[in-house]
Amino acid sequence: MKKLHNFVFTLSLLAGASANAQLKIEIAGVGSNQIPVAVAAFADESVAPAQISSIIKADLERSGVFKVIDAGSVPANAPVDYSQWKSRGADALVVGSVQKLADGRIEVRYRLHDTVKTSQLSSMNEAAQPRFTRLTAHRIADDIYEKLTGTRGAFATRVAYVNENRAGRDYRLEIADADGEGTQVAVRSNEPIISPSWSPDGTKVAYVSFEKKKPVIYVQNLVTGARKVIVNEKGSNSAPSWSPDGTRLAVALSKDGNTQVYSVSAEGGNLRRLSNSNGIDTEPQYSADGQTIYFTSDRSGGPQIYKMSASGGNAQRVTFKGNYNISPRVSDDGKTLAWISQRDGGFSLYAMNLATGQEIRLADGATEPSFSPNGKYIMYATKTGGRTSLAVVSVDGRVKQRLTTQAGNIREPNWGPFMK
């Protein structure tokens, strides 16, 4: 039997893109009322290992929010003829330059101009090692997204997912940039790995491994590679979810009979039972403020979404449409609940406005949803052509993407937090 291998990450590997991309993104839809943005080629960007302007364009395009206009070459420090760009239909203009410094770092300068208000809207000047070139470009795209929409961009974030080859008994917990680049293997095993969950600071991932021939919950430090068993009680230990402050995990344990929701210290120990029903309570998820836990329970006869205080106690039912509702996820802005519902003979991704209770059906053939940290997109697993891949849909359902790989089945996505 193969042994489980741990791959030590460093901060540079986490932030950089040292590995070749294994995920391919296909954009299947665009949003309405797109913001037209002209993006110029950055001066001397050939000195960097990746083309800054191309990465920015790709980020903006796949968001579905922007209509990208190729601005060609524009001197980064030259006065801007706002009327010219406005006549070309651009509401904003992105220009920049790249320089290789004597110490080997790559310095990137960028400016965002508002052609409507005829003024500079934002600027950035960063110098970093060449391996951080893609990260710098993503950060610029994030700044553009935020300045033009008022919402923080999520291009510089990462995703965790499981890449599995059951026939070859090869299971990998992988980390990739949000655009599918920079794939790294965090854990590899010949036994199943499921339910990855990012810590709020983005330095750790909790997950369930079957290497002990039963489900056991681990936390892996992605900076040092060190990992620790957090829960290994009798029976099943599953579905870890971090509290927003990173001090505890909500988990589902069957140690006392039926599976129930517990909380445990993020370092292990201090186990507390939170739910108490005669049914199965599982898939706990903390709310954005840490005061509430959403979970799946069959206490009403079939699986439905409930919520209770993070300290336990009475539960309230949240979903009432459909007889089978599972996998609750709450957006980081606290506004939206996503879950999987079985209706009309198939499994579909739904989202609910928690303030109004209004539901929207976002995607069919979906499982395992996960919100982007800005609450604007949901990643999920979907099966097509006998292979499982990942897809992304905006919370309004207008923008859709698919992330595919040439080998294996990728599933169990978990979108990481904003990095500090």
**8 Å CB contact between 351 and 360:** yes
**pLDDT band at residue 17 using 50, 70 and 90 as cut-offs:** very low
Return the DSSP state at 4.
P
Question: 267: which 2 tokens?
Answer: 């370092």
Q: What's the pLDDT score for residue 160?
A: 97
* CA quadruple 337, 343, 346, 347: dihedral, nearest 10: 10
CA–CA gap between residue 313 and residue 156 (Å, rounded): 38
Distances (CA, A) of 365 to 107, 342, 347: 44, 10, 5
> What mean pLDDT, rounded, does the chain reach?
90
Q: Worst-scoring range by mean pLDDT, 158-167, 255-264, 311-320? A: 158-167
Q: What's the pLDDT score for residue 195?
A: 97
**8 Å CB contact between 354 and 335:** yes
- The total of other beta-carbon atoms located within 10 Å of residue 73's CB is 11
Which H helix or E strand runs over 352? Answer: strand 346-353
Chain segment 117-132, per-residue pLDDT in tens = 999 999 999 999 999 9
Distances (CA, A) of 90 to 49, 84, 282: 29, 9, 49
Mean pLDDT along residues 326-349: 95
**pLDDT band at residue 11 using 50, 70 and 90 as cut-offs:** very low
Which H helix or E strand runs over 228? Answer: strand 227-231
Residue 161's Cβ-side half-sphere holds a number of Cα atoms within 13 Å equal to: 33
Mean pLDDT along residues 311-323: 95
3-state secondary structure 379-402: EEEEEECCEEEEEEEECCCCCEEE
What angle in degrees, to the nearest 10, is found between the helix axes of 52-63 and 133-149? 40
Where helices occur in 47-132 by DSSP H, the ranges are 52-63, 82-87
CA–CA gap between residue 172 and residue 191 (Å, rounded): 9
Chain segment 217-269, per-residue pLDDT in tens = 999 999 999 999 999 999 999 999 999 999 999 999 999 999 999 999 999 99
Q: What's the pLDDT score for residue 339?
A: 98
Among residues 166, 45, 30, the alpha carbon closest in space to that of 94 is found at 45
**pLDDT band at residue 282 using 50, 70 and 90 as cut-offs:** very high
Q: Pairing between strand 204-209 and 193-198? A: antiparallel
Beta-bridge partners for 364: 348
Q: Sketch out the chain's domains with CATH numbers.
A: 5-13+157-415 (2.120.10.30), 33-149 (3.40.50.10070)
Taking phi over 0 as left and psi of -120 to 50 as alpha, with beta for the rest, 221 belongs to beta
Q: What's the pLDDT score for residue 9?
A: 29
**pLDDT band at residue 147 using 50, 70 and 90 as cut-offs:** very high
